[in-house]
Structure 1
């Protein structure tokens, strides 16, 4: 397959999987077993393409956060908690990078994380049946979401969105749509910062800069943004009246398949 078409296909995969609790990074790594292996910059930057879709879906909410904090204490509180979650993610993420965390070369760790994550989804959904929906965001939610995002980054296959959403649910934000919104909003600065970090590293290295197929990265970024927009709109409608259990079954089926065939 032509390299540009491969990049566009990876953009489609990213856009479809970034917001679903099934691991976009895991799916990208799996796809690259058969397609050309891509750089860390490519894999992270196209996630930012999907995250760009969130800024469009939540544009009214983002405008309120940016302009209403002076007069609205509730908005200030939301900003502080979003900032706390992002700050924890950034600090622990940099620490993980310094300690040598990197994407795996094989699909086995991804498969294991997919299966474990599926079991976690079942457990959390069973627990949620006993809980009343709560929409308030506590400080425990902010800290937990920040830590969960780093765990997802260290163990591809976990799913950043799944880790953040289920951390929020377990720590008291038991309203699925509200938990998803908080996770997605925290993901905006998280993924843009991660992309900026990888971009800086690549631009600072003449060899890496010359080797990166920039036109393919841009095509994949744009594709992920368009597909991601449609996906997140669908997911928000879905979680308004459904559980995440089907995604748990999907994760387990995919994980087992990978262990058997790869």
Structure 2
């Protein structure tokens, strides 16, 4: 198969960008858009969702013991309760997200709205950290947390640049799960079925209309693998980092990146 070296390099770079940014609260969509503007090429929605699935696979592997515990010991009240809350958060995202997309509420992945999303959520993260630091340390996930995390994940899906992980982690922290590690775990576990479902949805669309959305499956495969490997490393690092550090630097980075986008690419060109 003819596979240009330049294109392969671009695909690997996109996989690396996705793997780093999917679970760090800095917006994978925003960084993939920047990569596109820098000349790495526009990719299909299936490609973008497919490499996101690679990152989700990495998190699945990292949390495999926790997932197995929840599923194999589901009869235990605390595990059954936790699984129910993951399910509710996922269903809120899936149902309301589909409705929003059908009604045309999803914003275009353009430079200006993504830049503003980076800035606004960055500021919100700083405020949320300050508020959460004053709350009693709680690891429990309440039903309110589950519902609000589902809503936050849906909002992140229709407002590019918001960051799914950033939105859900900080919503969980403000809603009652003030412990960063516990909020992050719930956010990531809710993201697993959500992103697998999004990938399956895009695959189904591609299968139904193959001529309308031709896909380079080699590109997708390479991007998927690279994203999975890099995301595994990034998430392992993040889980260690948040034990002793706040998300402050991620928030400041978002604000700086958003401002740079507005100044550097004001017209989106």
Aligned-pair CA distance for 1:45? 1.4
- Asked if 1:87 corresponds to 2:75, the answer is no
Aligned-partner SS, 2:140: coil
- Counterparts of 2:45 and 2:102 in 1: how far apart (Å)? 15
1:135 to 133, 139, 145: 139
Give a deviation string over 1:149-192, Cα, whole Å, max 9, x none: 11101111110000110110110000000000000000000000
1:236 to 227, 234, 239: 239
Match of 2:227 in 1: 224
Give a deviation string over 1:115-166, Cα, whole Å, max 9, x none: 0011001101111221111011100100011010111011111100001101
Aligned-partner SS, 2:104: coil
2:43 to 38, 41, 46: 38
- Counterparts of 1:30 and 1:208 in 2: how far apart (Å)? 26
Match of 2:119 in 1: 115
- Asked if 1:198 corresponds to 2:202, the answer is yes
Match of 1:59 in 2: 64
1:252 to 243, 255, 263: 255
Aligned-pair CA distance for 1:259? 0.3
Aligned-partner SS, 1:141: helix
Runs of 4+ in 1 over 2 A off after TM superposition: 100-106
Aligned ranges 1:10-21 → 2 under 5 Å = 10-21=14-25
* 8 Å CA contact retained: 2:152, 2:168: yes
Give a deviation string over 1:192-216, Cα, whole Å, max 9, x none: 000100110111112135x211100
1:25 to 26, 29, 33: 29
RMSD: 1.2
Aligned-pair CA distance for 1:102? 4.7
Aligned-pair CA distance for 1:101? 4.4
- Asked if 1:213 corresponds to 2:216, the answer is yes
Q: TM-score, normalised by structure 1?
A: 0.96
* Structure 2: gaps of 5 or more residues: none
- Counterparts of 2:79 and 2:104 in 1: how far apart (Å)? 37
Match of 1:124 in 2: 128
